[in-house]
Homo-oligomer: A and B are copies of this chain.
Amino acid sequence: MDSYQQTTRTTLKRRPQRGAFDRPTVHAILDATFLCHVGFVVEGQPFVIPTSYGRDGDTLFIHGAAASRMLRELSTGIPVAVTVTLLDGLVLARSAFHHSLNYRSVVMLGTASLVEEPAEKMHALEVITEQIVPGRWAEVRRPDDQELKATTVLRLPIEEVSAKIRTGPPIDDDEDMKLPIWAGVLPLTVAPGSPIPDPQLAEGLPLPASVTAYQKIEGAK
């Protein structure tokens, strides 16, 4: 099926035209970055924690230290929300009221489960690493048994999910169109700067392909 099932909880109450449920749109947003915000509830209090992720088909992997409180809570199967937001620009209207943001976001609802099988765990870590810096997995020392044990990996099915997108210019009221006020969009992108070598880096080691390729991605990530 090419679209995710729309549910009451993922249906946009306002501006439904900004919503999308088709797989290509949802996947494109999830693949354009690696940072998500994870929401969960402990004793009635919501918490929202930023973390990195990797997507593999209809699965999202997140990971962290085995001692992480968030991962421990989530592994018990409590309800979770995962939100991914790409900020694309400032929408500057003639009126304060019609100012807005251009963005692409995905909101996922569901429950997480522990990845325990070592081969799948290793695969998940590769997926996460490759999502952050494509090509990096092949360059580095892979996790050993002890490191695998010290890492908790969770899988979240991409199932109850919606995308929301705003693009384009500001939309002012007709009577404001003649005001002598500049209106338009100021695009924002995340840009890589100059790599900073580790102070203890051995002399003469060139930049790896993963970093030089990353720099070439315009408006990368």
Query: Which residue numbers of A lie inside 8 Å of B, CB to CB?
Result: 9, 13-14, 35, 37-41, 44-50, 52, 65, 67-69, 79-83, 85, 87, 89-90, 92-97, 99, 101, 103, 105, 107, 109, 125, 129, 132-133, 136-137, 139-143, 147, 150-151, 169-170, 176-202, 205-208, 210-211, 214-215, 219, 221
| B residues in contact with A219, CB < 8 Å | 193
CB pair B193 A187 closer than 8 Å: yes
CB pair B184 A206 closer than 8 Å: no
CB pair A44 B41 closer than 8 Å: yes
| Chain A binding surface SS class | mixed
Q: How far is the CB of A4 from chain B (nearest CB, A)?
A: 17
A selection of 30 A-B contacts at a CB cut-off of 8 Å is A13-B69, A14-B69, A35-B87, A37-B48, A39-B39, A40-B46, A41-B41, A45-B109, A46-B46, A46-B80, A49-B83, A90-B133, A94-B141, A96-B141, A97-B151, A99-B129, A99-B133, A99-B140, A140-B181, A180-B202, A182-B201, A182-B207, A182-B211, A184-B195, A186-B211, A187-B193, A188-B191, A188-B192, A189-B190, A190-B191
CB pair A14 B140 closer than 8 Å: no
Instruction: Across the interface, name the chain B residue whose C-beta is closest to A43.
Output: B9
Given contact pairs A140-B95, A181-B139, A82 touches B48 in the complex (Cβ within 8 A) = yes
CB pair A221 B188 closer than 8 Å: yes
| B residues in contact with A139, CB < 8 Å | 181-182
What is the CA–CA distance of A101 and B211 in the complex, to the nearest angstrom?
A: 15
